[in-house]
């Protein structure tokens, strides 16, 4: 391989900017190095991606992409591979470029043997075009941050074009329980594999309000669900045109939830079934587990490595985390969009807890600037649990109003406003030795972690 001067310069500049940002204490330095590198060499990502011997795996979906890609990376590492991975959830082109420049030599030789790339929904077409992945894992398409993307249909259309442009050497692994994903992947020339829930006792009676894809994408009729598991994910068919959920290549059975702690599923059936335990709560995480396990098996990982990798896995940054502070335990659960929020509330309501809950809503770009989405959340779940409720963040008031209109008595709702001032007041409200739950949106989680870091009770995420 000849030395590519431009590429070498780009990598060196990217590495230096990451280092200097961390020295200055300005945060994780996860995106700026990518901007610096891309400015020097526009094709840097294309060049580096094609030099990774084991190829690239791209993971996308509205919910669960960070968790899924981290589980997959963990499994691959456990098998002895060195993995390039945008670990901190910086999932736009520049963040992904930064992950590559950090994990190659200055001559452009990747130190990793395979890459696991978590990508933002809107960035998927570009990332796929530039990295030519051997495997694309698509998790779900939920309503998320409409103000950023325009409309959900736009994403589905963009993805379909991308999938139609793949070739037969590439593999697609899709969540067939999502009718939108099943429909847009139908005509792709790539080899299509599917995962989903084959048998699951945890079902919903009706489509939640936040559900997006209740219509048959082939004929426009309303889909009939044989089983509905989470939002619009389930086993479905169309009465009008006969379309139905594709057969599952990786069908999960024996799905068990153990409160706020962990879960279990089996992939496959009979003696060959792979029994998997995961230290992750909620049904939504078992979808992530099924996706990561399916992807690892597709890549040729042995069953025992998959099982062990998942068993050892700790939740991705902020997805769920326990923090000790002043002799009290805070459980942090990230909320990103109606579906994620609903699942967190469903999990809390199922555990019938009475501990204080603080919901922190910001409206910065990464949170979704339009807080309308709070009305797609079934805050009514919280009317069933007897817990004091606090709201905080830039949109503390909006969340308080959402709770009030869910039928919760205003006496139970305390809006605390700005998170910096709210945190101490909330901690004081927790009984000593007690537990409390904090549910922040993405940027609220970043700020919360900074505040907890200043109090010396957590590490910053790039140190994890």
Partner 1 sequence: MKLTICWLYGDTMNIYGDRGNVLALAQRARWRGIDAEITTLAVGEPLDPDSVDIFFWGGGQDREQIPVSRDIQGEKGDLLRRTLEDGAPMLSVCGGYQLLGKHYHPYGEAQLPGIGFFDAWSEAGPERFIGNVVVESDRFGSLVGFENHSGLTFLGPTAEPLGRVRVGRGNNGKDGTEGCIRLNTLGCYLHGALLPKNPAVSDFLVRAALERKYGVTELEPLDDDLEMIAHQEAVRRAEATR
Q: Which residues bind partner 1 (CB under 8 A)?
A: 143, 146-147, 150-153, 209, 215, 363, 369-376, 394-398, 400-402, 404-405, 407, 410, 413, 415
Q: Which residue from 384, 396, 321, 320 is spatially nearest to 358, judged by alpha carbons?
A: 396
| First-last CA distance in the chain | 34
Q: Which residue from 458, 231, 175 is spatially nearest to 344, judged by alpha carbons?
A: 231
Of the two residues 44 and 374, which places its CB atom closer to partner 1 in the complex?
Answer: 374
Of the two residues 82 and 369, which places its CB atom closer to partner 1 in the complex?
Answer: 369
User: Cβ 446 to partner 1, closest distance in Å?
Assistant: 18
Identify the H or E element spanning 236.
Answer: strand 233-238
Cα–Cα distance, 178 to 182 (Å, whole number): 6
Of the two residues 99 and 155, which places its CB atom closer to partner 1 in the complex?
Answer: 155
Half-sphere exposure of 207 (CA within 13 A, CB side): 19
CA distances from 176 to 70, 199, 276, 282, 333 (A): 21, 14, 20, 19, 27
Of the two residues 293 and 374, which places its CB atom closer to partner 1 in the complex?
Answer: 374
Of the two residues 161 and 370, which places its CB atom closer to partner 1 in the complex?
Answer: 370
User: Cβ 153 to partner 1, closest distance in Å?
Assistant: 5
User: Cβ 373 to partner 1, closest distance in Å?
Assistant: 6
User: Cβ 228 to partner 1, closest distance in Å?
Assistant: 16
Of the two residues 373 and 437, which places its CB atom closer to partner 1 in the complex?
Answer: 373
Residue position matching structure tokens 């807080």: 371
Kindly state the tokens that stand for 196.
Answer: 């989903």
User: Cβ 30 to partner 1, closest distance in Å?
Assistant: 25
Of the two residues 182 and 280, which places its CB atom closer to partner 1 in the complex?
Answer: 182
Spatial contact of 252 and 198, defined as CB atoms under 8 Å apart: yes
User: Cβ 407 to partner 1, closest distance in Å?
Assistant: 7
Of the two residues 255 and 389, which places its CB atom closer to partner 1 in the complex?
Answer: 389
User: Cβ 363 to partner 1, closest distance in Å?
Assistant: 7
Spatial contact of 17 and 112, defined as CB atoms under 8 Å apart: no
Kindly state the tokens that stand for 349.
Answer: 């309501």
User: Cβ 136 to partner 1, closest distance in Å?
Assistant: 25
User: Cβ 192 to partner 1, closest distance in Å?
Assistant: 24
Kindly state the tokens that stand for 107.
Answer: 């001559």
**Sheet of strand 83-85, all strands in order from the earlier edge strand to the far edge:** 83-85, 114-118, 56-60, 135-138, 171-175, 191-197, 250-258, 262-267, 274-278
Cα–Cα distance, 106 to 441 (Å, whole number): 37
Residue 459 β-bridge partners: none
Of the two residues 21 and 152, which places its CB atom closer to partner 1 in the complex?
Answer: 152
Q: Which residue from 5, 28, 155, 148 is spatially nearest to 99, judged by alpha carbons?
A: 28
Spatial contact of 83 and 116, defined as CB atoms under 8 Å apart: yes
Cα–Cα distance, 263 to 388 (Å, whole number): 27
């Amino acid at each position: 391989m000849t030395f590519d001067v431009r590429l070498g310069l780009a990598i060196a500049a990217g590495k230096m900017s990451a280092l200097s940002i961390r020295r200055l204490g300005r945060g994780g330095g996860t995106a700026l190095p990518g901007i610096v590198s891309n400015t020097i060499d526009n094709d840097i990502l294309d060049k580096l991606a094609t030099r990774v011997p084991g190829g690239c795996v791209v993971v996308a979906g509205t919910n669960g992409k960070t968790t899924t890609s981290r589980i997959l990376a963990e499994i691959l590492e456990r098998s002895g591979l060195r993995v390039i991975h945008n670990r901190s959830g910086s999932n736009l082109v520049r963040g992904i470029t930064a992950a590559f420049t950090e994990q190659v030599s200055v001559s452009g030789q990747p130190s990793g043997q395979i890459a696991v790339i978590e990508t933002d929904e809107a960035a998927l077409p570009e990332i796929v075009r530039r990295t030519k992945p051997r495997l694309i894992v698509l998790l779900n398409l939920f309503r998320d941050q409409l103000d950023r993307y325009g409309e959900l249909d736009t994403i589905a259309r963009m993805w379909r074009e991308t999938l139609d442009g793949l070739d037969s050497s590439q593999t697609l692994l899709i969540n067939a329980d999502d009718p939108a994903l099943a429909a847009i992947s139908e005509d792709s020339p790539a080899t299509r594999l599917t995962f989903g829930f084959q048998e699951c006792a945890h079902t919903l009676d009706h489509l939640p309000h936040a559900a997006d894809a209740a219509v048959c994408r082939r004929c426009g009729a309303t889909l009939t669900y044989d089983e509905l598991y989470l939002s619009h994910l389930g086993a479905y068919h169309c009465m009008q045109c006969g379309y139905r959920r594709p057969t599952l290549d990786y069908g999960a059975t024996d799905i068990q939830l153990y409160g706020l702690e962990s879960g279990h599923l089996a992939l496959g059936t009979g003696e060959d079934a792979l029994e998997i335990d995961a230290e992750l709560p909620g049904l939504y995480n078992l979808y992530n587990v099924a996706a990561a396990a399916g992807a690892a098996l597709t890549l040729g990982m042995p069953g025992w490595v998959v099982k062990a990798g998942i068993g050892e896995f700790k939740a991705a940054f902020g997805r769920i985390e326990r923090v000790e502070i002043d002799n009290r335990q805070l459980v942090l659960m990230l909320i990103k969009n109606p579906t994620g929020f609903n699942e967190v509330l469903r999990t809390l309501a199922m555990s019938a807890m009475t501990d204080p809950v603080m919901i922190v809503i910001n409206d910065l770009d990464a949170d979704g600037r339009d807080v309308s989405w709070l009305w797609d959340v079934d805050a009514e779940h919280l009317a069933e649990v007897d817990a004091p409720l606090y709201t905080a963040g830039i949109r503390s008031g909006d969340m308080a109003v959402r709770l009030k209109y869910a039928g919760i008595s205003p006496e139970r709702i305390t809006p605390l406003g700005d998170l910096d001032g709210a945190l101490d007041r909330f901690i004081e409200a927790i009984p000593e030795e007690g537990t409390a739950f904090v549910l922040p949106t993405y940027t609220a989680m970043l700020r919360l972690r900074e505040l907890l870091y200043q109090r010396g009770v957590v590490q910053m995420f790039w140190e994890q």
